[in-house]
Structure 1
Amino acid sequence: MDPHAVPLLRRADLVERGWHSRRVRRELDVGFLRAIRPGMYARAADVDGLSREEKIVVKARALARTSGSPPVFCGLTAAALLGLPCLRDDGGLHVLTAESRPSAGAGVVRHRSLTEGTELVEVAGLRCTPLARTMADVARAETREVSVSIADAALRARAFPSPGRYDVDDAERLREEALSWARTSPRGRRAAEKVLLFADGRAQLPGESVSRLRLHDLGFAPPSLQVGVPGPNGTTYWVDFGLDDVDAWGEFDGRVKYRGIAAAEGKTPQHVIEEEKRREDWIRGTTRRHVVRWGWEDLGDAATLGLRLAAFGITPPRGGARSVHRGAQ
């Protein structure tokens, strides 16, 4: 279900139905209702199947419904509203507030920042920080995995409409705008700059963003991203990573990736997997390069991915690991 269309139920709505406190507690206990915020509920069937980002959107809607004035969302909450991937939900709703505003309510994290005169965007009636500022705010405060995934996705949304088409100039304009925001405050500035300079919109999934971090830490050269390999009958096969310094290809595999391809093309996941095997055979045979695949289970840290690659005879050409900033933990 569209998170903006999930029906939200106030306590007063439930009372009108004759559901007083005991009935509400019972429906929560048996799993029919979910508490979204104090005094605000939704049917479990409407929210349990939502993604992490979509659940954040539902919580943001609930806060807006119960606030005296429209909140301005920022950070991870703004990222979710803007359709960017959030590798974690810290449980809070992040909002901007002026210095004179009171302390935060339940589950609300207030960030001191004047909003008057600040350019805002509106998503289905909810106000939030624009793309560039959201990138900067997240990069200042979050782990590198979260912040690089969001920065990559933001650049992709702006400059990479389809494989093989990446508007470098448009991406650089967004990057520079985000860097300008990051430099308005000394808090987390250096960490944010490293993330924003590392970001690349050609990474198409959070798993690919985290993979880039791990490859960097292992000492590999920056890989080519979304590389086109000529296929049969004039087709093109797109490969996630060109590990050019070791003459190999890398592919991030995720169950969501296969489900998404299957759904988009009207095929079964098994059919997609079989096609992927034929595709990989072609790429390996025509380019004479190793092809190695990895998944989330290999991305816990750089050493784990390194073991996966080493099993296929792929090791970084230079010794020693490197690191992009560690971010806030």
Structure 2
Amino acid sequence: MQLISAQDLRRTTGDTRSLSRRYAQGELVRIRKGIYAEKRAWVSLPPWERYFQTVRAVDLELPQSTFCLHTAAVIWDLELLAVPAYIHLAGATRGHAGRRKPTTSAACARSGQTGIEHITAYGIHRHRGNAAAVQRGGLLVTPLAETVIGVIAGEDFTAGVVLADHAISGRRGSGPPVSKDELFRTAFQLESAARRSWVAQVLNFAVAESESAGESLSRAQMHVLGFPAPMLQAKMRQGGTLLARTDFFWPKYRLIGEFDGDAKYLNDEYLGTQTARQAVLAEKKREDRLRAAGFRVVRWDWATASDPARLAACLRQAGLPSSRSRQPGTR
């Protein structure tokens, strides 16, 4: 989307009033000081895109800023469990470090409403200390490995695994590759021994085979809840014929686990030439073949994977035993 800079507009046209007038008329949203966007376009953006456009607005307002932590992860196209609450900036001095409230605003209409009350806005979180910076899509960000380790060090186990799995996987669509060895070397440079230990737990658990954030989240939850570790991407065969490749498989219990993300049935990239209805029917026939071969199948969605109690109940109902719930080491 197009962001409008008041400074650039003044420099190129000499216009100093049109943005203020359009803002007052309710046509524009002021995202940051001197940075505007069309209100209709702003409201229609999905949350992740609105966050990224706020990052761009911050960069226009505060050029040469270095984005770090969760914001850098978004710029690196890494998977996070939730849209970050702040725009994270590195290099703050003692007096400037800390959180600042969002500045995104819109003029009130006659009804007394701005039209963006239901839209989440993002403030700035400035972090002390200088950080190395590299260019990524025209923005300055902390290097990939430092970004991954920095986020993991401050996250819980499940969120850390989702990020680590994606960082080392081959399914990342953009950006340079990063290996576990490189991440371990970067983690070793953390000053806190407790953080080094915490990050090592996450990295030791991370695998490149996980094919989605939902699968990574599910696997991490299983571990925390004390369920036995599954085989990943197992190929199920009968009489030499490939029946299916499954998300999770517990051979001892002949149990197959499948994470169903919406993208499987709604995203053109996944559907290929199939319609959503055809995809659902094909999945049902696939599951029927597995059951006919003597396997049991349990399925869950994102809402269940995100709720430990619901996932535990789902797996136990399918016959998978668990030890008492356990938490990996604390930071």
What range describes the TM-score normalised by the shorter chain of this pair?
Answer: 0.7 to 0.9
Contact 1:203 1:225 in 2 (8 A): yes
Q: Which residue number in structure 1 is paired with residue 324 of structure 2?
A: 320
Contact 1:227 1:240 in 2 (8 A): yes
Contact 2:180 2:203 in 1 (8 A): no
Which structure has the bigger radius of gyration?
2
Displacement of 1:21 in angstroms is 3.5
5 Å-filtered alignment, 1:159-174, equals 159=170, 171-174=179-182
Contact 1:253 1:293 in 2 (8 A): yes
Contact 1:144 1:326 in 2 (8 A): no
Mapped to 2, the partners of 1:108 and 1:280 lie a distance apart of: 48
Please give the per-residue CA displacement for 1:136-185, whole angstroms capped at 9, x wherever unaligned. Answer: 111111233332211111111xx4579xxxxxx9743244234334x344
Mapped to 1, the partners of 2:211 and 2:44 lie a distance apart of: 23
The TM-score with structure 2 as length reference comes to: 0.78
Contact 2:243 2:289 in 1 (8 A): no
Contact 2:166 2:172 in 1 (8 A): no
2:136 corresponds to 1:123: yes
Displacement of 1:126 in angstroms is 0.6
Q: Which runs of 5+ in 1 are unaligned?
A: 1-5, 163-168
Of 106, 113, 134, which residue of structure 1 is paired with 2:129? Answer: 113
Q: Secondary structure at the match of 1:320?
A: coil
What is the identity, as a one-letter code, of the residue corresponding to 2:145?
Answer: A
2:283 corresponds to 1:259: no
Q: Which residue number in structure 2 is paired with residue 74 of structure 1?
A: 68
5 Å-filtered alignment, 1:1-329, equals 6-11=1-6, 13=9, 16=15, 19-21=18-20, 23-27=22-26, 33-44=28-39, 46-48=41-43, 50-67=45-62, 69-97=63-91, 99=93, 102-103=96-97, 107-115=123-131, 118=132, 120-156=133-169, 159=170, 171-181=179-189, 183-186=190-193, 188-230=195-237, 237-260=244-267, 265-286=272-293, 288-312=294-318, 314-316=319-321, 318-324=322-328
Contact 2:59 2:139 in 1 (8 A): yes
Q: Which residue number in structure 1 is paired with residue 115 of structure 2?
A: none
Distance 1:154 1:170, change over 3 A: closer
Mapped to 2, the partners of 1:326 and 1:301 lie a distance apart of: 20
What is the identity, as a one-letter code, of the residue corresponding to 1:151?
Answer: A
Q: Secondary structure at the match of 1:190?
A: helix
Displacement of 1:79 in angstroms is 0.7
Mapped to 2, the partners of 1:325 and 1:42 lie a distance apart of: 45
Mapped to 2, the partners of 1:49 and 1:172 lie a distance apart of: 38
Contact 2:236 2:244 in 1 (8 A): yes
Mapped to 2, the partners of 1:219 and 1:229 lie a distance apart of: 25
Distance 1:211 1:79, change over 3 A: same
Mapped to 2, the partners of 1:171 and 1:230 lie a distance apart of: 32
The TM-score with structure 1 as length reference comes to: 0.78
Q: CA-atom RMSD, angstroms?
A: 3.3
Mapped to 1, the partners of 2:297 and 2:84 lie a distance apart of: 36
Please give the per-residue CA displacement for 1:20-71, whole angstroms capped at 9, x wherever unaligned. Answer: 53531442xxxx544432332223454555554433322221111111x411
Give the share of equivalent positions with the same residue, in percent.
Answer: 28
Distance 1:254 1:11, change over 3 A: same
Contact 1:135 1:178 in 2 (8 A): no
Contact 1:262 1:269 in 2 (8 A): no
Please give the per-residue CA displacement for 1:252-300, whole angstroms capped at 9, x wherever unaligned. Answer: 11213322366550322111111111111223333x2211100122134
Mapped to 2, the partners of 1:231 and 1:210 lie a distance apart of: 30
Contact 2:86 2:125 in 1 (8 A): yes
Q: Which residue number in structure 2 is paired with residue 165 of structure 1?
A: none
Mapped to 1, the partners of 2:30 and 2:178 lie a distance apart of: 42
What is the identity, as a one-letter code, of the residue corresponding to 2:217?
Answer: V
Q: Which residue number in structure 1 is paired with residue 109 of structure 2?
A: none
What is the identity, as a one-letter code, of the residue corresponding to 1:176?
Answer: F
Distance 1:298 1:143, change over 3 A: same
What is the identity, as a one-letter code, of the residue corresponding to 1:135?
Answer: V
Q: Which residue number in structure 2 is paired with residue 3 of structure 1?
A: none
